[in-house]
């Protein structure tokens, strides 16, 4: 509380000279842009360090700086500090149109056209186009005031093309601007890129650094999202220890939330062991504090058990959960899981010659491998991914299986034909639902 009060008082103290400077726009006591930018940087760094009361001050200062830059005479930018302040303003969430105005007015060459052109393209959504030019220009600004910002922008621009190289730019940005909004953004984005690049050790190291410093940031929920993706995609015995270490910096409520997210993503991905583990830990952390959280933990554990030998108990547990305890998306997940469980436990409709499988020895080699896949359960996993290149094919079902179904249905058994048609329809619906959930 004392820290927040001090920050508010400091921000108020900063606002007074700002207002005074704006009121004297034509006088000699006018605030210069670089002094205003220093105040903006202080406020933004306070926000990511946990002082959310400074967010309104940040909005005010962005507006005040925008007015000051637009009203500045060209000679103002003969001072390189003011040039840097204009670039930092735009890279800190300022109005992109202001940079266009300043660049068009610059007849003295105070602005580096390579940098301004790159930023204008980036802010217009053309990030990949700036990589080549900014890669050449950025090293010249490595130790300058705008260096950390440029390397953060460069990392953003090339993150899809080359995530490993982008992480190197993020590293430079955060190491040259510790304890700032630059470091917070670089660490958070590095966790996501490490997960994409298949580098879990680096990802967990970035996540640990973030958890130590920025859990009170307003962007911490985004960090939680990418951390969950990292944990689910690369979970093993070693990762379990890293996850526990990172979560130790969080209070019980945040740990519980992360474990619930992990359980949900793992259940959708078909990782039964992880879904059960995360569900149980979330349930333990819930204690007696929230019946709804315990219900959610049990729900995700039940989802994970649907494609297992304990399908009967899982189906009963899912059915027993009241609708009001679940969100709309979780209710949709439950309907999908119930449809799968019903299909699994439904008794056969009756034997017919068409249903009797031929001995494996009499089948061609391709059909032998297909039968083995079906018996192992790997061919019909409700959480499997669609086969690439076959958008019309249900998840996990090879083309040969569909041909066999058509042949069997053509054999003249109406009951079997209806069963297969119903099964295909349900699988298509479930695949569409889970595809939407995974996005």
pLDDT value at residue 354: 41
DSSP letters for 17-76: HHHHHHHTTTSTTPPPHHHHHHHHHHHHHHHHTT-GGGHHHHHHHHHHHHHHHHH--GGG
pLDDT value at residue 273: 81
Average pLDDT over residues 232-244: 86
Place of tokens 């015995």: 237
Average pLDDT over residues 396-409: 39
| Tens-place pLDDT, residues 81-139 | 999 999 999 999 999 999 999 999 999 999 999 999 999 999 999 989 999 999 999 99
pLDDT band of residue 5 (cuts 50, 70, 90) is: very low
Across the chain, mean pLDDT equals: 74
pLDDT band of residue 266 (cuts 50, 70, 90) is: confident
* pTM of the complete model: 0.66
pLDDT value at residue 296: 63
| Tens-place pLDDT, residues 17-56 | 444 444 444 443 478 999 999 999 999 999 999 998 899 9
pLDDT above 90 (res 338): no
Domain residue ranges of the chain, discontinuous segments joined by +: 1-111, 139-249, 251-351+415-439
Q: How far is residue 133's CA from residue 358's CA, in Å, rounded to a whole number?
A: 65
pLDDT value at residue 220: 92
When mean pLDDT is compared over 39-43, 231-235, 257-261, the highest value belongs to 39-43
Of 237, 227, 230, the residue nearest 257 (C-alpha): 227
- Residue pair 394/427 in contact (Cβ under 8 Å)? The answer is yes
- Residue pair 94/65 in contact (Cβ under 8 Å)? The answer is yes
Place of tokens 């119930």: 338
pLDDT value at residue 288: 55
Residues in Cβ contact with 423 at an 8 Å cutoff, skipping those fewer than 6 apart: 343
DSSP designation for 205: H
pLDDT above 80 (res 372): no
Average pLDDT over residues 140-169: 95
DSSP designation for 380: S
Q: How far is residue 313's CA from residue 318's CA, in Å, rounded to a whole number?
A: 9
pLDDT above 50 (res 325): yes
pLDDT value at residue 431: 55
- Angle at Cα 184 formed by Cα 183 and Cα 188, nearest 5°? 115
| Tens-place pLDDT, residues 159-210 | 999 999 999 999 999 999 999 999 999 999 999 999 999 999 999 999 999 9
pLDDT above 60 (res 7): no
Tell me which of 187 and 395 has the higher pLDDT.
187
Instruction: Round to the nearest angstrom and report the end-to-end CA distance of the chain.
Output: 39
Class at the top of the CATH hierarchy for domain 139-249: mainly alpha
């Amino acid at each position: 509380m004392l820290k927040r009060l001090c920050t508010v008082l400091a921000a108020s103290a900063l606002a007074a000279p700002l207002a005074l400077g704006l009121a004297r726009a034509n006088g000699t006591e006018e605030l210069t842009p670089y002094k205003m930018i220093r105040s903006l940087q202080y406020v933004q760094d306070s926000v990511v360090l946990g002082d959310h009361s400074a967010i309104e001050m940040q909005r005010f200062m962005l507006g005040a700086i925008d007015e000051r830059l637009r009203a500045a005479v060209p000679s103002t930018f003969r001072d390189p500090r003011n040039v840097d302040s204009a670039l930092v303003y735009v890279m800190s969430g300022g109005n992109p149109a202001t940079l266009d105005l300043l660049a068009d007015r610059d007849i003295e060459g105070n602005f580096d056209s390579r940098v301004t052109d790159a930023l204008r393209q980036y802010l217009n959504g053309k990030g990949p186009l700036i990589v080549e030019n900014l890669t050449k220009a950025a090293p010249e600004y490595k130790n300058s005031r705008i260096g950390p910002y440029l390397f953060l922008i460069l990392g953003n621009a090339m993150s899809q093309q080359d995530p490993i190289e982008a992480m190197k730019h993020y590293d430079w940005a955060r190491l040259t601007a510790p304890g700032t909004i630059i470091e917070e953004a670089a660490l958070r984005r590095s966790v996501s890129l490490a997960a994409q690049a298949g580098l879990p050790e680096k990802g967990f190291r970035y996540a640990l650094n973030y958890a130590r410093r920025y859990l009170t940031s307003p962007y911490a929920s985004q960090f939680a999202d990418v951390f969950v993706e990292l944990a689910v995609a690369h979970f093993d015995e070693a990762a379990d220890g890293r996850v526990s270490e990172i979560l130790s910096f969080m209070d019980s409520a945040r740990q519980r939330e992360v474990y619930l997210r992990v359980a949900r993503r793992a259940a959708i991905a078909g990782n039964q062991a992880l879904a059960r583990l995360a569900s149980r830990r979330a349930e333990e952390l819930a204690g007696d504090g929230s019946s709804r959280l315990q219900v959610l933990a049990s729900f995700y554990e039940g989802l994970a058990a649907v494609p297992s030998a304990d399908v009967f108990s899982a189906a009963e547990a899912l059915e027993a959960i009241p609708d009001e305890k679940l969100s709309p998306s979780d209710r949709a997940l439950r309907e999908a899981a119930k449809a799968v469980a019903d299909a699994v436990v439904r008794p056969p409709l009756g034997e017919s010659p068409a249903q009797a499988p031929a001995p494996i020895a009499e089948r061609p080699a391709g059909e032998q491998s297909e039968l083995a896949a079906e018996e192992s359960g790997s061919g019909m996993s409700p959480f499997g991914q669609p086969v690439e290149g076959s958008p019309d094919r249900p998840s996990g079902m090879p083309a040969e299986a569909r041909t066999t179904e058509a042949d069997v249905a053509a054999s003249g058994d109406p009951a079997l034909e209806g069963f297969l048609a119903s099964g295909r329809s349900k699988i298509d619906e479930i695949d569409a639902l889970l595809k939407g959930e995974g996005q």
